[in-house]
Amino acid sequence: MSDTMDNLELDIINGDEPITKAKSDEELKTKSDRGTWSKHVEFILSLVGYTVGIGSVWRFPTMCMRNGGGAFLIPYLFFLVLCGGPLYYMEICLGQFTGKSAVGAFELCKIFRGLGIVMVAMSFVVLIYEGILMAWILYFIYQSFSSPITWSTCGNWWNTPLCTQYGYIQNVSLNGTGFATNISEFPTSTMQTTPDSQNTSIIIRNDVYSSAANEFWLNNVLRRSSSLEDFGTIQTHLALSLLASWVLICICMIKGVHSIGKVVYVTAIVPYLLLTVILIRALTLDGSIDGIELYLKPKFSTLLEFQVWLDAAIQVFFSLGPCWGGVITMASYNKFHQRNISATIIIIFMAGFTSLYGGLVVFAMIGFMAKEANLPLLTVAGAPGPGLVFVVYPEAVSRMPLPQLWGVLFFFMLITVFLDSMFGMAETVVGALIDSFPHVLLRWKMYVVIGVNVVFFVFGLPFTTNGGIYLFQLFDWYSSSFGLLFGSAVEAIVLGWIYGFNRFSSDIKLMTGKDSSIFLRTMICILTPIAVTVCFILRMTSYGEPDYGDGYKYKPYAIAIGNLLAFFPIIPLIISMIRQCSSTSGSCTMVMCISSDAGDTHARKIINCPRLPGGQL
């Protein structure tokens, strides 16, 4: 930008009178009543909660274990600094500077204005299917109050003749995805002694036995059909749980940023208290240290494997959640002159710490359960997925004294972790709608919030059917990875190269009064765009078909739907680029020029275009 902007003297159009002095925070507030955070700590807590999702409990720990244990932290931290941190900081600054949600923030570069819609579309798709996760959690909380705890016994209406209580028959193993817990096959008429107090014997035929917890998950919670084609009907218990989930999210969002700012004091802090309580209890159990050792023991030889580094890069994007639009939306409620370097460092640290800390709890429980069942730790741990949370942990809880207490604490912890991410993404959608039609929708924001939550409830109903779990796996496999990496790569290129970090750093200086560091310039101008783009390309070359497990394979039509789902979020960007190119005459500079709506909407800046290379006006 020009020296004038560097000195915080950019002309700000206010009616017919140019203003050459930066305004105070109060003067920079618009009359749109979008709202601002009451305290900066509320913004930090909201992003900590938004960033730390349920993947910290089931994805990161198992990913770490299977990619070298403690050695996995090296590539993870490398990509956290190289890709995750700079992108996260850019999104915070972009949201704060423009004062808009994701759908309006990228007006600063006309040809890429559709990138914000890409982010909103990804959040929209994820919200459709992740609501069922919260429904499952609520149902488990409800069932945790039963005595004996529901998933610990056989002989219930959902159990099969092959049901067995965990530990009464050994050689139990998880399948490839962690969705099912099966007992390995034995030859016909083989005698096996059960370790119960009566020391009786049973005959194990050439059948596959399953644990009580696994049958509760498959036959009570999911009531799973045989395939995606056998869709079945809506299950009342899951539909009611889904309704309760969206009602809870709606209550948290009902007054916008003001209600969210108060809720996060609970949802962002309580999980750490509960994790600590559960970890202390887990460490008193026999075998817990073995599980933690499996989790953290470094295997440095794995650092020579290409897939380990790619997994670490992908995990960073899942952990931090850039390019979902939530970070930009939350930051848009910041006061204009708020400094964010410290907040970014805190949030990134908490994201990494929570993933590591949550893994201690999970693997302490896995170690205990492996010891109880006399099974290999790797067999019990399985692979990342719902089975780790809804089969492995409940099974461990059922073997503990006071299982009802520990079941309620664990699943309540998951609720508090999950709520922040859910209403963060939902606020992204609400903010996009209101910023697109401010004169119509702003005064009716409460009803917009209610309407959005109703839509997500209705769209989530197919996941409550008998075949809903197959649909969930299909959505989870295709809807996030491609769009997330693609959007992150485009975002890094737009802000680092096309809009240009010279311009962007001048915008940051206008807000904070400080120049960006050489480290940040190097990351955003050179390393981050290159690294994110390479990760996207490599991920696409290694993309495979979804695997539910149990030998189930999706049919070609389902895979085709999945591929369409993966490409769906990027369609708005392609359309907006075509429209911009067809409606703008002149040079490439004119096509890519800064929008007249760019800049801080609070101050109503008008920045003329085109801009010359190097960021000069």
Residue list for the binding site for Na(+): 49, 52, 319, 420-421
Element containing residue 348 per DSSP (H, E): helix 341-373
User: Which of 112, 90, 210 is closest to 528 using CA atoms?
Assistant: 90
Residues forming a β-bridge with 525: none
Phi, psi of 308, rounded to the nearest 5 degrees:
-60, -45
Phi, psi of 202, rounded to the nearest 5 degrees:
-130, 160
What is the C-alpha separation between 539 and 560, in angstroms, rounded?
A: 19
Residues 6+ apart with CB under 8 A from 546: 473, 474, 477, 478, 554, 559, 562
For 105-142, b/e burial (b = at least 16 CB within 10 A) is: bbbbbbbbbbbbbbbbbbbbbbbbbbbbbbbbbbbbbb
User: Which of 25, 601, 103 is closest to 339 using CA atoms?
Assistant: 25
Neighbours of 352 (CB within 10 A): 22
- Token pair for residue 27? 């003067």
- Token pair for residue 495? 């802000």
Q: Which amino acid is at 377?
A: L
CB 313 within 8 A of CB 84: no
Q: Which amino acid is at 564?
A: L
What is the C-alpha separation between 259 and 74, in angstroms, rounded?
A: 38
Distance of CA 500 to the CA centre of its chain: 28
User: Which of 193, 100, 163 is closest to 438 using CA atoms?
Assistant: 100
How, if at all, do strands 12-14 and 201-204 pair? unpaired
Binding-site residue set: 49, 52, 319, 420-421
- Token pair for residue 321? 């959640």
Q: Which amino acid is at 450?
A: I
What is the C-alpha separation between 321 and 330, in angstroms, rounded?
A: 13
Question: Can you list the positions of beta strands (E) in 149-245?
Answer: 163-164, 172-174, 181-183, 190-193, 201-204, 209-211
Residues 6+ apart with CB under 8 A from 184: 171, 172, 173, 208
| Eight-class DSSP state of 197 | T
User: Which of 259, 348, 255 is closest to 44 using CA atoms?
Assistant: 348
Vertex 86 angle, CA 80 and 92, to 5° = 120
Query: In terms of residues, how long is the chain?
Result: 617
Residues forming a β-bridge with 172: 183
Q: What is the 3-state secondary structure (H, E, C) of 212-232?
A: HHHHHHHHHHHCCCCCCCCCC
